[in-house]
């Protein structure tokens, strides 16, 4: 039977109910596509809400409040003794996360599409086998399996063992990367999931890795009094960012008492005398670091195991599901979005990819494509590090000519008022026409400030236009006018 004539249970089956899965379901169902989301996790909400962006930022904000309170004398404010209660810090985070997760569960079960709690895997290119999650109680299954009918579509009111669909979206997220050193598996390391469940703080902590998760947790723990040692293989933390940005963060970390080792090679890990020990090479010396706990922050990989992709011809590329710019895998009616499709583990990218996939499924005659020109990344340390578009590193790799100018926060009115003297802003411009092609902010509220450059780049503004745009005084945002003016003076309008 031809595929157009064949009857399917659903138009679209989405595997995974995280940020990408939900975004695709919302978009597709609004376009009249009969959709089902299958979520196999123990809790509903996805990584961002349950164990990623939201809980970590809630904790980092608490750490920032703690730091500001500790520094209050700068502004003539004298505290009595400063103290904290770690259980209360974690309880506030937990309450917020519950609120976000409850809301997401409502969005997933509001009847606009069907929602099944099960683990899914392909048995052929149009069929999924569904395995109910072991931990789901009978009542919960009843509550979550049966989505009411909506949009004129009839959804099954019980969990089928199999379902068919015309199109699919794989949105299964990511999982922890395997350990590069088998000994690390023997010493029971913390990771970003288990650290969020701690009931008390360790006295000391070794963090393995220098990516976003590593540096954010390093500062959180250090600001709550934990003795932190961070061990990174590359010459700098955040090795994908420009080295001036990474070096600024390392400077602040060292000032706050974090011991940072870069250019290291891990040799061994073991438990000794009630502590955990990591042995590594640094500047030709063998170093033995000891701490109460070791935190594994050596990255994540796409979560694709057990989906049966190898049987249906969906190909992988460096662990991730290979897709084209329309988010189609090597089997065109099967799409992938979010962390499982890799490239960037960033939630708004996961959402954007998913919305594009859903649009393309609903409108195959008017396909949209992903565009990473405005790729934005934010590290929520203090100072925050935020970039959009090209960094100098990316421009070098792609051989793209640019002019660059930067300006430090230590020389800017509003940041001096805030005593936020670390960091700088940096603009990259096309040397011929002055179009802004990249921005970087290392400094106070960098994740907010970068949005001015996202907006400027979105409308393809030049440095001349940005320099001429009014900026209120005294604000942090007006700092962008200095590099814009410097570049404008070097490029003919
Ligand atoms: C500690 C940490 C902090 C982070 N902070 C930020 C941040 O500040 N900003 C940012 O942009 N990004 C951040 N991220 C990354 C961000 O969380 C992810 O990019 C985003 O959540 C990915 O969404 P997703 O939908 O692809 O995957 P997920 O949200 O992981 O969703 C995948 C879902 O699929 C389900 N699933 C998997 N396999 C199956 C199966 N076979 N059958 C059924 N269901 C299945 C899973 O249970 C899961 O719910 C952070 C990540 C971590 C780990």
Tens of pLDDT, residue by residue over 1-56, are: 555 568 999 999 999 999 999 999 999 999 999 999 999 999 999 999 999 999 99
Cis preceding-peptide flag for 474 (omega within 30 of 0): yes
Report residues whose beta carbon is within 6 angstroms of any ligand 1 atom.
15-21, 38-41, 46-48, 52-53, 56-57, 119-121, 171-173, 192, 213, 303, 307, 338-339, 345-348, 350, 380
DSSP state letters, 49-103: HHTSHHHHHHHHHHHHHHHHHHTGGGGT---S-----HHHHHHHHHHHHHHHHHH
Q: Average of pLDDT values for 336-343?
A: 95
The more confident residue out of 433 and 79 is: 433
Within the chain, how many helices (H) and strands (E) appear? 14, 23
Ligand 1 centre distance from Cα of residue 45 (Å):
9
Neighbour count for residue 331 (Cβ, 10 Å): 15
Nearest-angstrom CA–CA distance, 324 and 173: 18
Q: Check residue 376 and give left, alpha or beta (phi > 0: left; psi -120 to 50: alpha).
A: beta
Q: Phi first, then psi: what are they for 141, rounded to 5°?
A: -60, -45
Q: Average of pLDDT values for 354-358?
A: 98
Tell me the best of 14, 16, 385 to mutate to test the pocket of ligand 1, counting ligand atoms within 8 Å of each CB and taking the most. 16
> In this predicted structure, which of 74-88, 137-151, 182-196, 401-415 has the lowest mean pLDDT?
137-151
* pLDDT at residue 139 in the model: 46
- First-last CA distance in the chain: 62
Nearest-angstrom CA–CA distance, 97 and 49: 6
Task: Please identify which residue in the block is written with the tokens 């969020």.
Answer: 196
**Is the pLDDT reported for residue 492 higher than 80?**
yes
Q: Phi first, then psi: what are they for 57, rounded to 5°?
A: -70, -30
**C-beta separation of 348 from 307 below 8 A:** no
Residue nearest atom 17 in ligand 1 by C-alpha distance:
48
Neighbour count for residue 290 (Cβ, 10 Å): 15
Mean pLDDT of the chain: 94
257: enclosing H helix or E strand: none
Q: List the one residue out of 335, 489, 362, 363 whose CA is nearest residue 427.
A: 489
Nearest-angstrom CA–CA distance, 228 and 100: 30
Q: Average of pLDDT values for 354-366?
A: 98
Tell me the best of 44, 345, 451 to mutate to test the pocket of ligand 1, counting ligand atoms within 8 Å of each CB and taking the most. 345
Q: Phi first, then psi: what are they for 300, rounded to 5°?
A: -125, 160
Neighbour count for residue 341 (Cβ, 10 Å): 29
Per-residue pLDDT tens for 216-260? Answer: 999 999 999 999 999 999 999 999 999 999 999 999 999 999 999
Ligand 1 centre distance from Cα of residue 387 (Å):
21
Residue nearest atom 31 in ligand 1 by C-alpha distance:
18
Residue nearest atom 51 in ligand 1 by C-alpha distance:
52
Ligand 1 centre distance from Cα of residue 48 (Å):
6
Helix, strand, or coil (residue 138): helix
Q: Which residues, listed in sequence order, are joined to residue 277 by a DSSP beta bridge?
A: 270, 290
Ligand 1 centre distance from Cα of residue 172 (Å):
8
Helix, strand, or coil (residue 405): strand
Q: List the one residue out of 119, 192, 173 whose CA is nearest residue 301.
A: 173
Nearest-angstrom CA–CA distance, 103 and 120: 24
The pTM for the full model equals 0.95
The more confident residue out of 491 and 342 is: 491
Residue nearest atom 6 in ligand 1 by C-alpha distance:
53
Q: List the one residue out of 217, 173, 174, 295 whose CA is nearest residue 55.
A: 217
**Is the pLDDT reported for residue 386 higher than 90?**
yes
What's the residue count for the chain?
A: 493
| Nearest atom within ligand 1 for CA of residue 38 | 43
Ligand 1 centre distance from Cα of residue 320 (Å):
14
Q: Average of pLDDT values for 393-406?
A: 98
**C-beta separation of 266 from 208 below 8 A:** yes
- In the chain, pLDDT over 70 holds for what percent of residues? 94
| Structure tokens belonging to residue 296 | 């594994």
Per-residue pLDDT tens for 159-173? Answer: 899 999 999 999 999
């Amino acid at each position: 039977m031809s595929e157009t004539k064949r009857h399917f249970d659903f138009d679209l089956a989405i595997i995974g109910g995280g940020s990408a899965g939900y975004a695709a379901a919302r978009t597709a169902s609004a376009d009249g596509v009969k959709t089902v989301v299958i979520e196999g996790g123990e809790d509903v909400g996805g990584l961002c809400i349950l164990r990623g962006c939201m809980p970590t930022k809630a904790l980092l904000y608490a750490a920032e409040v703690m730091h500001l309170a500790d520094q209050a004398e700068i502004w003539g404010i004298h505290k009595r003794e400063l103290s904290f209660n770690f259980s209360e810090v974690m309880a506030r985070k937990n309450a917020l996360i519950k609120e976000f997760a409850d809301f997401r569960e409502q969005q997933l079960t509001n009847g606009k599409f069907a929602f099944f709690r099960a683990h899914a895997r392909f048995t052929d290119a149009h069929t999924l086998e569904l395995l109910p999650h072991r931990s789901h109680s009978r009542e919960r299954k009843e509550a979550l399996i049966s989505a009411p009918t909506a949009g004129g579509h009839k959804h099954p009111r019980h969990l089928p063992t199999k379902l068919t669909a015309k199109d699919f979206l794989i949105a299964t997220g990511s999982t922890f990367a395997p350990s590069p050193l088998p000994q690390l598996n023997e010493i029971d390391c913390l990771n970003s999931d288990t650290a969020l469940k701690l009931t008390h703080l360790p006295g000391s902590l070794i963090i393995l890795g220098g990516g976003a998760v590593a540096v954010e947790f390093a500062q959180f723990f250090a600001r709550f009094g934990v003795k932190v040692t961070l061990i990174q293989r590359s010459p700098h933390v955040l090795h994908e960012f420009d080295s001036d940005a990474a070096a600024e963060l390392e400077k602040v970390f060292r000032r706050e008492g974090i011991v940072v080792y870069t250019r290291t090679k891990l040799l061994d890990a073991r438990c000794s005398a009630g502590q955990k020990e990591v042995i590594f090479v640094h500047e030709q010396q063998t170093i033995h670091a000891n701490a109460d706990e070791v935190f594994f922050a050596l990255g994540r990989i796409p979560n694709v195991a057990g989906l049966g992709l190898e049987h249906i011809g969906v190909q992988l590329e460096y662990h991730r599901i290979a897709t084209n710019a329309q988010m189609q895998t090597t089997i065109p009616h099967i799409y992938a979005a979010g962390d499982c499709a890799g490239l960037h583990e960033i939630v708004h990218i996961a959402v954007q990819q998913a919305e594009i996939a859903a649009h393309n499924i609903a409108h195959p005659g008017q396909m949209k494509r992903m565009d990473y020109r405005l790729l934005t990344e934010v590290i929520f340390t203090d100072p925050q590090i935020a970039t959009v578009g090209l960094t100098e590193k990316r421009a070098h790799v792609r051989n793209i000519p640019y002019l660059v100018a930067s300006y430090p926060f230590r020389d800017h009115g509003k940041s001096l008022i805030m005593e936020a003297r670390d960091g700088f802003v940096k603009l990259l411009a096309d040397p011929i026409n002055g179009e802004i092609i990249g921005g970087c902010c290392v400094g106070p509220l960098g994740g907010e400030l970068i949005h001015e450059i996202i907006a400027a780049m979105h409308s393809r503004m030049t440095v001349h236009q940005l320099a001429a745009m009014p900026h209120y005084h005294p604000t942090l945002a007006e700092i962008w006018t200095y590099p814009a003016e410097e570049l404008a003076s070097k490029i003919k309008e």
